[in-house]
Structure 1
Amino acid sequence: MQIRNIAIIAHVDHGKTTLVDKILHATHVFRSNQETGELIMDSNDLERERGITIFSKNASVTYKDVKINVIDTPGHADFGGEVERVLKMADGVILLVDAFEGPMPQTRFVLQKALQLNLKPIVVINKVDKPNCRPDEVHDAVFELFFNLDASEEQLNFPTFYGSGKNGWFNSSLTPCEDITPLLDGILQYVPEPKISEGTLQMQITSLDYSSFLGRIAVGKVTRGSIKENEPISLVMADGTVKKSRVRELYVFEGMGKKKVTEVLSGDICAVVGLEDFNIGDTIADFENPEALPVIKVDEPTMNMTFGINNSPFFGKDGKFVTSRHLRDRLIKETEKNLALRVEDTESGDTFMVYGRGILHLGILIETMRREGFELTVGQPRVIVKLIDGKKAEPYENLVVDVPQEFASKVIDLVTRRKGEMHVMETKGDIQHLEFEIPSRGLIGLRTQMLTNTQGEAVMAHRFTEYKAWKGAIPGRNNGVLLAKDNGTTTGYSLDKLQDRGFFFVDPGEEVYKGMIIGENNKPGDLVVNSNEGKKLTNMRASGTDAATNIAPKTVLTLEECMEYIQQDECIEVTPHFIRMRKSILDEDERKRVQKSMKAEEV
């Protein structure tokens, strides 16, 4: 049977997962009466809630007696580690681009990886049914992007399809047709069959699956030879050591699931059960003459955070897993399948340093852990600083902002204050397209401020470019915070009296503790307030005076917003049902003592 392996790459929200849904339906993977819902491939709860793909996944369909392995990849640069290894399994890529927005920075990031691996591209311009879309301009922009990324002559001669994933049609021209068969025919025509080289077995493990029944499962593409059930094999590790092992069971992908087989020939993607202690990037090779494939290199992390046990007064009230042993085991387990993540021990046995690709990357890990029942404390995200030629260097990012013209000056002002430099300014219809180069530090806390200043209209995206010279201090949060004075329950009476001091992150009737951040001060500097005071009751009553507290509703921050909000001496307490911000040192006198000693050291 002929095989085609194709990865689908696109920026967040350009309709990648919807396209996969249409391919699955068009090739009759499901029974005609089967309920499938939307976004079939985004199986993880977090993916469905946020509407983004985080983990790459495989599905397989059969069209005109050709097996097409479809690989859905994440669109976020923060999940770059996920994308790079997945592309190793593909022989061609579908680059999906929105007919209005055109190619975005993260499309560029993934496309660059695909072109370097010499994959054959097919361009699909999606959402041509949207008002003010501009498919012809977008096609030119895509060609320019290919050219800028040093695509070969053959890659520049890419086929283009237009259509609407939502309405279920794709065609080689802008004329609507009935379904997506022109695109499926295009995949068979333009994507090459897997290259099969002569020789003994070689298969690189490019992703992991886990089953509580079968244990860890290795997934990858057989690049040479064939692999059989029950066959003895060699596992060549990244450091060159060779372990002997045996294949217990073999599966290939079929539809959304897997099918057990006895042999897989080269060119197909399969899942291998029965191997012990393997890592992503290892090679499954011939038992007697093992030959390793080149090790997968993943981009370095650019940000780190401290993860520690929850040591607040509310410790253990909400979560199941609260000890440092639980925390350590969970983080180590995550590094096995999350390649761009690194974990290191610190001097304290209760805290760990976790390195990741960005705030979203680390935020997804924290969110996943809290849903599993963990309680933890996380510190402020910091960029990783390196010494290059004896000089201090920090990571820089390419930041792209699309915003209505009336807000463009506010955006430019915001970004330049954070040491960003503007490189491109173009007008697209009534939208201003701005591109900046900015230190990664400048992005922390930028999104919230930008949405506030542009009435929620700004669309921003960024990707890591390189390490460059340190840019100096960047102004952080201007205002101080309101801190709870004592443990207890907040009352409407005291919050009402404190409203002129700032705005609150808590409502009346919430449990708070000493040193917890309950609001933002209107002025610089922190303020300790008594939020738990009840009204002194007398036997004189005036009708209606007790009910006359008009308190503004609390401001609710998401986990990522909290990570961007906190300063160096603050941290976030994360439990399954609560996200609270607090000072790292809860006692006010102790905090002042530490600040004094730090100032004395600086002098």
Structure 2
Amino acid sequence: MLRACSLGIRRFCSSVTLEPVERIRNIGISAHIDSGKTTLTERLLFYTGRIDEMHEVRGKDKVGAVMDSMELERQRGITIQSAATHLTWNNHTVNVIDTPGHVDFTVEVERALRVLDGAILVLCAVGGVQSQTLTVTRQMKRYNVPCITFINKLDRQGSNPNRVLSQVKQKLGYNAAFIQLPIGLESQQKGVVDLIRERAIYFEGSNGDDVRYDEIPADLRAQSKDKRQEMIECLANADEHLGNLFLEEKVPTVDEIDAACRRGTISRKFFPVMMGTALKNKGVQPLLDAVIDYLPNPSEVENFAFEGENRKRMDPTRGPGAGPFVGLAFKLEAGKFGQLTYIRVYQGSFKKGDSLYNSRTGKRVRIPRIVRMHSSEMQEIEEAHAGDICAVFGVDCASGDTFVGDKAANVSMESMFIPEPVISMSLKPQDKKDADNFSKACNRFVREDPTFRITYDAESRETIASGMGELHLEIYAQRMEREYNCPVALGKPKVAFRESLVAPVEFDFLHKKQSGGAGQFGRVIGVLEPLPPAKNTQLEFIDATVGTNIPKNYVPSIKKGFLLMCEKGCLIGQKISGVTFRLIDGEHHIVDSSDLAFSMAAQGAIKQCYERGSWHILEPIMSIEVALPEEYQGGVMASISRKGGLIVSTDSLEGWSTITAEVSLSEMFGYSTELRTLTQGKGEFTMEYCRYSPAPADVQSALLEAYQQETNPQAAQQKRKGRS
């Protein structure tokens, strides 16, 4: 016990009665950056008794929010890593994951939503639906996660919940309705009206923990009646039982509305909209009630695993009758006690000291310790059951691995979606003596973050770091200095261009080599075709051969050669994408043909296609959203046009403008400084990957010339002399 205390770990009694699955909620808090997610989480922890006092996100009091445990998070006032905690409300256990809002850390949201059963979508009462809101809602849809919408910051000047609801309906396509109304806005914000139970709720006391219920104010009664009817109509469209009552012109009871709201929310057919201001301690307790009332428990969510080629539904039964253990490792984190692996238990249970099996590697691992996380703090437990989110020490695995209790079980949970990096920069330690620490840091961060990639360029002899944006790479550079005492230098950003085919081109390539003894012989015939624009980041291989000219056992080698050649194209040395390799015919030799020969033949066929075909370069296009005072709108739009950007939409409200545009990533480096200059520091922007599109002719020419200069300086110099 003394040792556990010295490690800062609290040990729970293992004889606690097992909690029924109906009393568990696993939720995430997601939103656009600076919408108030972490502030809201801080209030959730305070009102449930998990913390004794609340602190500001930016840490002006030198403490900072509990969930922002990293020093960089407190300094910058942003969430970088998702943080898990658990709390108790109305005899229910709620596991909460607070996720980042910045698009550069979108993988943290991705893997959190992969394992959660419900979510709170936080919207700013002024900003409304913003760029990252759209990304988060796409992620929720991908994993079929139901959510409650919470309109935050009602106390801000310019707050307008009605406009936000309109955006939720139009931009997100949600069947959403208010289940609350605000009592006053901006500095007059006093509380909310509960439309279901038809009462006013006030939050009194210095911390808003004294909740008082009263009659609806006289000036809001007519509006409350109209909005309640509107809510019932939206529910009637989503729920059959309430729809029948509505058609029969019967007035539903509070219990019937609550039940319909729960069914509609879980099925993602209805999205209840609540509101408040977390910073001013208003509206948080009813939100906690709604999490219990409307979001699903683990038994109400269908989770599947692949057993061979078949899908098998996981059994969330806890205690006696539970099935064999199945869990998903969804997040890795290196701490002072070694690698910490976050696991969501989908079926069965496991205890401290049990042996589990990694279904990907087949390796057996022993679990020395199980903990429940409270941000950076750990609370040791003896056992974890279906529906729990916990963490274990000393397990060597990768993010997305499935663990099973039975070695013979051929079960694998569906992995999470990992977006491709869009920006690369050279990375090197400032002092060569720090090479070991640099290597350790790179290995750790690559394991923790699937969107952070490290490669070594043999030609330039540089270590290349790839990620989701400049901020993403900058944060890791700062963490290397802080956590590993290894200052690093970031080089000029490199955009992840792609090479692609313009029109189909046929190939017929014979690889033949004879130097005494067994030789090499392989011939491939077919066509290389461009994929449609929607698939221009993908590669396809189609075996259309008939007969025995190419034995089927050589086809995988041909595919391997094709994919190997696509790693580095011949135009500018970037990856090839957006093409289909259609193998139609070929030829083999009974003695000289081999896997190597056909792999080399496929590589030669791609080179032949470069000589015969027409190729172009694709560049990443980013979707940007700029928020700024109206007076600077003209200058900013002109700036975007100079960059070759496409203005998608503009929106103005109460002196503020929002510009949505699509701009190539190569034009966006250093834009934050440019925007500050254009708007006297008042503008801000967010950026996320949109698609790949053909680069302009002048950009392609510059890239070709730069690559030729890099690979063949003499030929490039002669070419320039010829032009002059």
State the distance in 2 between where 1:189 and 1:33 align. 26
Q: Any idea what the Cα deviations from partners look like across 1:355-404, whole Å, max 9, x if unmatched?
A: 11111101111121223422333211011011233432111111111222
1:101 partnered with 2:127? yes
| Deviation, structure 1 residue 429 | 1.8
1:122 paired residue number: 148
Alignment of 1:61-460 (within 5 A): 61-147=87-173, 154-170=267-283, 180-195=284-299, 197-198=314-315, 199-213=323-337, 215-237=338-360, 241-253=361-373, 257-275=377-395, 277-290=396-409, 291-310=411-430, 316=431, 322-347=433-458, 351-371=462-482, 372-388=484-500, 389=530, 390-460=615-685
Q: Is the contact between residue 42 and residue 66 of structure 2 (CA under 8 Å) also seen in structure 1?
A: yes
2:201 paired residue number: none
Q: Any idea what the Cα deviations from partners look like across 1:303-357, whole Å, max 9, x if unmatched?
A: 11111243xxxxx5xxxx7443432332122101021011112227963111111
Change (3 A) 1:60 1:602: farther
Q: Is the contact between residue 59 and residue 257 of structure 1 (CA under 8 Å) also seen in structure 2?
A: no
State the distance in 2 between where 1:301 and 1:148 align. 30
Q: Is the contact between residue 322 and residue 376 of structure 1 (CA under 8 Å) also seen in structure 2?
A: no
Q: Match of 2:492, SS?
A: coil
TM-score in terms of structure 2 length: 0.60
- Residue identity matched to 1:268: D
Change (3 A) 1:38 1:370: closer
Change (3 A) 1:149 1:425: farther
| Deviation, structure 1 residue 297 | 2.9
Change (3 A) 1:370 1:249: closer
Structure 2, unaligned runs of 5 or more: 1-18, 56-60, 177-237, 239-263, 302-313, 316-322, 501-529, 531-614, 707-711
| Deviation, structure 1 residue 444 | 0.9
State the distance in 1 between where 2:713 and 2:459 align. 21
Q: Match of 1:55, SS?
A: coil
Structure 1, unaligned runs of 5 or more: 171-179, 311-315, 476-567, 570-593
2:49 paired residue number: 28
State the distance in 2 between where 1:155 and 1:33 align. 33
- Residue identity matched to 1:330: A
State the distance in 2 between where 1:36 and 1:200 align. 47
State the distance in 1 between where 2:51 and 2:648 align. 49
Q: Match of 1:381, SS?
A: strand
Q: Match of 1:292, SS?
A: strand
- Residue identity matched to 2:655: D
- Residue identity matched to 1:462: M
After TM superposition, the structure 1 stretch with the greater mean CA deviation from structure 2, 15-24 or 370-379, is 370-379
Q: Is the contact between residue 219 and residue 269 of structure 1 (CA under 8 Å) also seen in structure 2?
A: yes
Q: Is the contact between residue 276 and residue 282 of structure 2 (CA under 8 Å) also seen in structure 1?
A: yes
| Deviation, structure 1 residue 31 | 4.2
For the aligned residues, what is the CA RMSD?
2.8
State the distance in 1 between where 2:688 and 2:39 align. 24
Change (3 A) 1:32 1:459: closer
Change (3 A) 1:376 1:130: closer
1:507 paired residue number: none
Change (3 A) 1:393 1:204: same
State the distance in 1 between where 2:175 and 2:135 align. 10
- Residue identity matched to 2:496: I
Of the two, which has the highest radius of gyration?
2
1:580 paired residue number: none
Q: Is the contact between residue 250 and residue 271 of structure 1 (CA under 8 Å) also seen in structure 2?
A: yes
Aligned residues: 464
State the distance in 2 between where 1:220 and 1:232 align. 15
Change (3 A) 1:254 1:445: closer
TM-score in terms of structure 1 length: 0.72
State the distance in 1 between where 2:272 and 2:454 align. 43
- Residue identity matched to 1:22: R
- Residue identity matched to 1:410: G
1:466 partnered with 2:660? no
After TM superposition, the structure 1 stretch with the greater mean CA deviation from structure 2, 393-402 or 183-192, is 393-402
State the distance in 2 between where 1:469 and 1:192 align. 45
Q: Percent identity?
A: 27
Q: Any idea what the Cα deviations from partners look like across 1:160-202, whole Å, max 9, x if unmatched?
A: 11111111111xxxxxxxxx22111000011100137334211
Alignment of 1:466-545 (within 5 A): 466-473=691-698
| Deviation, structure 1 residue 148 | 7.8
Q: Is the contact between residue 84 and residue 374 of structure 2 (CA under 8 Å) also seen in structure 1?
A: no
State the distance in 2 between where 1:30 and 1:309 align. 40
Q: Match of 2:173, SS?
A: helix
| Deviation, structure 1 residue 100 | 0.5
| Deviation, structure 1 residue 256 | 6.6
Q: Is the contact between residue 329 and residue 400 of structure 2 (CA under 8 Å) also seen in structure 1?
A: yes
State the distance in 2 between where 1:149 and 1:415 align. 35
Q: Any idea what the Cα deviations from partners look like across 1:112-141, whole Å, max 9, x if unmatched?
A: 101221111100000111122111111111
Choose between structure 1 and 2: higher helix proportion. Answer: 2
State the distance in 2 between where 1:271 and 1:92 align. 20
- Residue identity matched to 1:122: I
